[in-house]
Chains A and B, each alone.
Chain A
Amino acid sequence: DIRMTQSPSSLSASVGDRVTITCRASQSIGTYLNWYQQKAGNAPKLLIYAASSLQTGVPSRFSGSGSETEFTFTISSLQPQDFATYFCQQSYSTPPITFGQGTRLDIK
């Protein structure tokens, strides 16, 4: 199975900050990488698919990049509603579908 490892596991930041989260795959997955946002008590929400494609309706301050084994997710200017947990998920070798352990982003 492909293991996905996110870093950091948690992060404190302020409104207006630029934030970057890294996701590493245990083997090459091309650009078969998705990013989800989950706010407390809510279902996950798709933000980015195919490593860098923004889902319809998602603000442009969110972006993704990377390929093969290393990927980054960036919020260019943090907004109050962005405080949440973010998960990466590989879709290269499925099944099984595997997720990163999550990165919790909270207010500094």
Chain B
Amino acid sequence: QVQLEESGGGVVQPGGSLRLSCAASGFTFRSYGMNWVRQAPGKGLEWVASIWYDGSKEFYPDSVKGRFIISRDNSKNTLYLQMNSLRAEDTAVYYCAKVVKEAFRGAYYYYMDVWGKGTTVTVS
């Protein structure tokens, strides 16, 4: 079945680095854009990064721009998030999510239809 599994979380000191991975299975990974979304303890959902299906474009919010890098290896069906210069406010559960681009009502709609279970990053 369609599945995403994150790994690589852990405890890191402020200023440190961590690389998260997201292993995809059950679908044609190279055909879909992917997102990273995080959730700080007791808080809401925050988008962290996006990457096109072929890796040709990446997008970040200002809160992580210049510190985080999203990438993918379509030959390994794996998504990555390299996190540098980590701060206490980056502490969160990090989810990877598959992005569907659907033609509907004469336009393209985007939504995240499959999510991993998340991996926890603690910066302390």
Are A49 and B47 within 8 A (Cβ)?
no
The tally of residues in B whose CB lies under 8 Å from a CB in A reads 25
The tally of residues in A whose CB lies under 8 Å from a CB in B reads 27
Are B110 and A99 within 8 A (Cβ)?
no
B46 vs chain A, min Cβ distance (A): 7
A32 at the interface (CB under 8 A from B): yes
Task: State which residues 60-101 of B face A: CB under 8 Å.
Answer: 60-61, 95, 100
Chain A residues whose C-beta falls within 8 Å of the C-beta of B37 in the assembled complex: 44, 97
**A47-77: contact bitstring with B at CB < 8 Å (1 yes, 0 no)?**
0011001010000000000000000000000
Are A91 and B110 within 8 A (Cβ)?
yes
Number of A-B contacts (CB under 8 A): 68
Closest residue on chain B to residue A102 by CB atoms: B44
Are B110 and A44 within 8 A (Cβ)?
no
A62 vs chain B, min Cβ distance (A): 15
Closest residue on chain A to residue B45 by CB atoms: A99
Q: Which residues of A contact B (CB under 8 A)?
A: 30-32, 34, 36, 38, 42-46, 49-50, 53, 55, 87, 89, 91, 94-102
